[in-house]
Amino acid sequence: MSQMQVAQINKPGTDFELVSRDIPDPGPAQVRIKVAACGVCHSDAFVVDGGFPGLVYPRVPGHEVIGSIDAIGDDVDHWRSGQRVGVGWHGGHCFSCESCRSGDFVTCENQQVCGISYDGGYGQYMIAPAEALVAIPETLSSAEAAPLLCAGLTTYNGMRHAGAKPGDVVAIQGIGGLGHLAVQYAHAMGFHTVALSRGTDKKDLALELGADRYIDTEAEDAVEALGKLGGARLIVATAPNPKLMSSVIDALSVNGQLLVLGASPEPIEVSPFQLLMARRSVAGHPSGAPHDSEDTLNFSVLRDIRTRIETYPLSEVNAAYRRMIDNDARFRVVLTME
């Protein structure tokens, strides 16, 4: 039988091991994907560190998968062999829980996560449920499309549902893997886009990406600076730092929202008085279902929004992961299989 290479974690706290496995066959309602590229996301640390309940090892991570269908199981329609597809964090749903029955697949009570519930894209082939597939625009390369299935989807989908209108002040807190995309989306949506970051290293980039204003939070008080603009209708918190998130709540305008996208187990501190008098809110947003991913990809093509990536071959998976987890990448790391 033909063999494939995958990068797996054998147990929490260990490095990736490159191993050969038999190429699997898809079951009913599944497809096999020949992987072209897979993004390396901070959430892959759940597999590396053992931070997700019920994880079974060995496990192949990866939920920013781009490739092509090369085998189709029974009971799969609407997809064809050779079609370019992707799989994001949302790796399948049950169709029968209350969320699924209302069409809200991303909050499925039995949701599967690609690279956690089953083996993901850190390998040459993978099996995916048909309902998790995302159609990929031909104008996007596999490497640049991969991070859009997580970082792009999370920022675009959260912002488009937050209620801000064109012309509103929208601040992006953190100009990293999520933030550099959030600035581009905010600009493309017509918001008065303000980038918040420490120091001046990212000022030129933020303005190049579409920010109307850059606030160096080491040199300026962000609350005061945003207050001079009338406050922010929306602050998109992309950096996983609850202390920074807490520090800008008073910069929200009337009806302003702090949109939390940076994941952290630590609490955000906010007093009822900070929220009550101006009808402010703190909200989070999950990534999205496959149709949301397709919306993200199509909007990115329409407005020429691109990820800044660094690519590594699968054989250098440990170096690629370390580059990401040490926050040295500018801005997303992608593994390539070809």
Domains of the chain: 3-149+288-336 (3.90.180.10), 153-284 (3.40.50.720)
pLDDT in tens, 191-214: 999 999 999 999 999 999 999 999
191-210 in b/e form (b: 16+ CB < 10 A) is: bbbbbbbeeeebbebbeebb
Q: Is residue 142 helix, strand or coil?
A: helix
Whether the CB-CB separation of 60 and 79 falls below 8 Å is answered with: no
C-alpha–C-alpha distance, residues 163 and 235, integer Å: 12
pLDDT in tens, 35-86: 999 999 999 999 999 989 999 999 999 999 999 999 999 999 999 999 999 9
Q: What is the pLDDT of residue 338?
A: 75
Strand locations in 134-229, DSSP E?
134-135, 169-173, 192-197, 213-216
Name beta bridge partners: 42: none
Q: Is residue 65 helix, strand or coil?
A: strand
Q: What is the pLDDT of residue 156?
A: 98
C-alpha–C-alpha distance, residues 238 and 53, integer Å: 24
Q: What is the pLDDT of residue 7?
A: 98
Q: Which two tokens stand for residue 15?
A: 């490095």
Residues of the chain where predicted confidence (pLDDT) is lower than 50: none
Question: What's the pTM value of the predicted model, to 2 decimals?
Answer: 0.95
Whether the CB-CB separation of 179 and 235 falls below 8 Å is answered with: no
C-alpha–C-alpha distance, residues 197 and 172, integer Å: 9
In the block, tokens 């303005």 appear at 207
Q: What is the pLDDT of residue 1?
A: 52
